[in-house]
Amino acid sequence: MTISDLLGGFATALEPQVLLLAFLGCLAGTLIGVLPGLGPVTAVAILFPLTTYLDPAAGVIVLAAIYYGGMYGGSTTAILLNIPGEVASVPTAIEGFQLTRQGRAGSALAMAAITSFVAGIAGTIGVLLIGPTIARLALYFGPAEMLGLLLFSLVTIIGVSSASVLRGIASCGLGLLLASVGVAQTTSDARLTFGSLELLQGFDVVAVMMGLFGLAEVLRTILKPPKVSAEHRVGSLRPTRTEFTSGMAAGARGTVSGFFLGLLPGMIPSIASFLSYASERRRALRRGTSRFGKGAMEGVAGPEAANNAAAMGGFVPLLSLGIPTGATMALVLAAMLVQGIVPGPQLFSQHPDFVAAVIASFFIANVILVILNLPLVGIWARITKIPTGTLMAVVACCCLLGAYLSRNSFLDVWVCVIAGILGWLLTTWQIPIAPLVMGLILGPTLEITTSQSFALSPTFFVQRPIFVGFVVLIIISLVISTRIRRRGMTSDDD
């Protein structure tokens, strides 16, 4: 990607229509993110169908803006109300709410906004520098290498998404099964359609996602409404010099670690957030000045920076390899496929204007979030008082309407409903949804690459060094994830 391409991308992203869409995306994402029980994945899922009516660049720009807004909104409720909008905001809630109780909510919110902004800009620069390089390397990938990469992605997401490998495998297997419904990718034969002509097209990704993340969240919230604590004063938005210095240092460390963790399949932002919190806590304990658990600004700044940097890092494998690192990236991938844009090694060379516009929008969206959210903190806090029943009714209607409008089919409405019940049951049974989503999205590509690899050579798995390298990475991933689970079980026993 050249400088002229990037300048052209900024010209596209700064067009009044696109700029307005980015602003509305940030606003809508933040609005949904601050509501108790809803997070960025739900925000993207609810508003996903609307982006199908936009051109490809504008659609992805809006989804990215919604994603960032949802993540920022989750930190607002975590700090003010001790209600994490998503898993990644749990560390922020631990320290941020203590600061709120001390009358320092404004400082915590400002520090979260500043470090998130810095991490977002740094992560965008990383996407700009690293993405084209990885894409050029991936041009040397054949079917066998892509198969190895897909297997590595699936195994990694299975390993880190659940305390049980068997549950992760079952979830991924279910996703692959759903992906196989319809016309076979390699033989053009009908599979699992049970004579239904509508099922020949397979399950619509939009309807399934709306159910898994939208309706399932409605069911969970109705059955177990979140407890909203009393509203606290925001106070001054100006952190002290000590808070600013320590927070920016923690934010810098979280930015670096979060971005590089975000490059790895399965390393969703919540993992980067928790790792940053644990690292900052150990660092403070070694120095003998730990205020963790009592309101440490480093415990807000570090995880928030790592969270946003990991989110940006996830766009690198998505754009350059076509591999989503988590549920939200899978939704963005689905949006690109619906628009006829196939992410992968050739995206940077075949659609440089599209990539440049998306990367330029990342810069702009981060600026919009800072300008938009800090002055409106008080309003966001009052929005959390919306009755849960009213809120969930609106969300359910949006999900069902979005499922229908995707293909104008009532079958998709039923698919959405069934997927919602399935998503709720899987969460109740502590079965992770992320492997199911990855299996559903990557299933068709996995089938094609497997068939092509065996067609080229039945013994390709020992003849292709890069494939063997991915097998080694799979083994390493399994070993690391097993050790992490054992440590978690040991700490729980203690």
**Token output for 88:** 């990644």
Q: At what angle do helices 165-179 and 143-161 cross, to 10 degrees?
A: 130
Residue % of the chain over a pLDDT of 70: 88
CA torsion, ordered 221, 226, 232, 235, to nearest 10 deg: -50
Pair 331, 45: CB distance under 8 Å = yes
Q: Give tens-digit pLDDT for 176-227.
A: 898 888 887 777 778 877 777 777 888 877 788 778 877 887 888 788 766 5
Q: Is the pLDDT of residue 363 over 60?
A: yes
Domains held by the chain: number: 1
Confidence of residue 494 (pLDDT cuts 50, 70, 90): very low
- How many CB atoms are closer than 10 A to CB 289? 10
Q: Looking at residues 318-328, what average pLDDT do you find?
A: 79
CB-based burial label for 150 (10 Å; 0-12, 13-18, 19+): buried
Concatenated DSSP letters for 330-362? HHHHHHHHHTT---STTHHHH-HHHHHHHHHHH
Q: Which residues, other chains included, contact 96 with Cβ-Cβ below 8 Å and sequence gap of 6+?
A: 75, 78, 79, 80, 105, 108, 109, 112, 299, 300
* Confidence grade of residue 37 (pLDDT, cut at 50, 70, 90): low
Tracing tokens 């601050």 back to the chain, one arrives at 34
Q: Which helix (H) or strand (E) holds 172?
A: helix 165-179
Confidence grade of residue 421 (pLDDT, cut at 50, 70, 90): very high
Q: What is the pLDDT of residues 52-72, one digit of tens each?
A: 778 877 888 888 888 888 877
Query: 369, 355, 372: which is closest to 13 by C-alpha?
Result: 355
| pLDDT at residue 385, as a whole number | 66
Closest CA to 363 of 6, 33, 107, 3: 6
Instruction: Show the 3-state SS of 5-60.
Output: HHHHHHHHHCCHHHHHHHHHHHHHHHHHHHCCCCCHHHHHHHHHHHHCCCCHHHHH
State the residue range of the domain holding 377: 3-493
Residue with tokens 């975000």: 262
Is residue 415 predicted with pLDDT exceeding 80?
A: yes
